[in-house]
Amino acid sequence: MPELPEIRTASQIVNTVCQGRVFTGGVRKSDVSKNVEVDYSAKAYTIRAEARGKEMALTLDNKLSCSAEGSGRNVSRIIFHFGMSGRFQFTTEADVHKHAHLMFRTDETPAHVLSFVDVRRFGTWRPLTESDGEEWSAGRGPDPAFEYAAFRHNVLANLTSSVFNKPICEAMLNQEFFNGIGNYLRCEILFRAAIPPFSKARDVLQAVLAAEDDKPKKAKKSVSSSSSPDLLQLCHDLPHEVLAL
């Protein structure tokens, strides 16, 4: 299952292939997908991707929204969860993958298609409108790698949550607190931190909080202020290591 680094990489790839390209028409869904239709159509729009934890968002920007030719909403946003096998592909129309389930067609000759491909069909998407008043799904915490200060605060300020009654290996899969952390990242993080995986999460994190309280104020501002990073620092560091590979 894709984790934070894979979702971040996917967003970068989408931005690379969409750079300077204009898309046209409606967003097409495959007949077999049980996900919702995306009610969006425009004669000319661009696509921009963002990532946060295990979520990726596409923003569709209608370039003709102020003219009579623009039939789509000015900005539409689609949140993707990749499931087990979700990914994006950019191909010619003739080479669209048979498991492509959401497709965006370019306005060029020959036309190309940006497709959300999902062989196992566990992936989902959810369109957002401006009236929804949200950019990301509710119940998902800050990104450990790119919103580190907010991520760390969200965990340490909520240690009374029942989530932390569980073993640390289970708590680290809770996306409300560890957004983007999955199986391979949690295993490596716990190994490097030398923490037994079935230790009670609250005990592990209270020790992190106690150590933080003992640090000088200047050291607290640093992402990695010691030679032995704690568990939360590793949640920041490991995804960056993977992205640098």
Q: Where are the beta strands (DSSP E) in 55-214?
A: 55-62, 75-81, 87-92, 100-106, 112-117, 124-128
Query: pLDDT tens across 160-185, in order?
Result: 999 999 999 999 999 999 999 999 99
Q: Quick one: which of 185, 84, 179 has its CA closest to 138?
A: 179
pLDDT of residue 133: 72
Catalytic residue at 54? yes
Query: pLDDT tens across 56-115, in order?
Result: 999 999 987 654 444 445 568 999 999 999 999 999 999 999 999 999 999 999 999 999
Q: Which of 2, 127, 142, 144 is catalytic?
A: 2
For residue 212, the tally of other CB atoms under 10 A from its CB is: 15
Q: Which of 5, 29, 54, 229 is catalytic?
A: 54
**Is pLDDT at 203 greater than 50 in this prediction?**
yes
Estimate to the nearest angstrom the gap between the alpha carbon of 233 and the chain centroid: 19
Burial 77-98 (b: 16+ CB within 10 A, else e): bbbbbbeeebbbbbbeeeebbe
Query: pLDDT tens across 102-132, in order?
Result: 999 999 999 999 999 999 999 999 998 776 7
Catalytic residue at 2? yes
pTM: 0.89
d(CA 98, CA 132): 33
Catalytic residue at 3? yes
**Which is it for the CA torsion 198, 202, 206, 212, positive or negative?**
positive
Q: What percent of the chain has pLDDT over 90?
A: 83
pLDDT of residue 70: 46
Q: Which residue has the higher pLDDT, 75 or 190?
A: 190
Classify 53 as helix, strand or coil.
Answer: coil
> CA separation (Å) from 146 to 155, 174, 199?
15, 18, 27
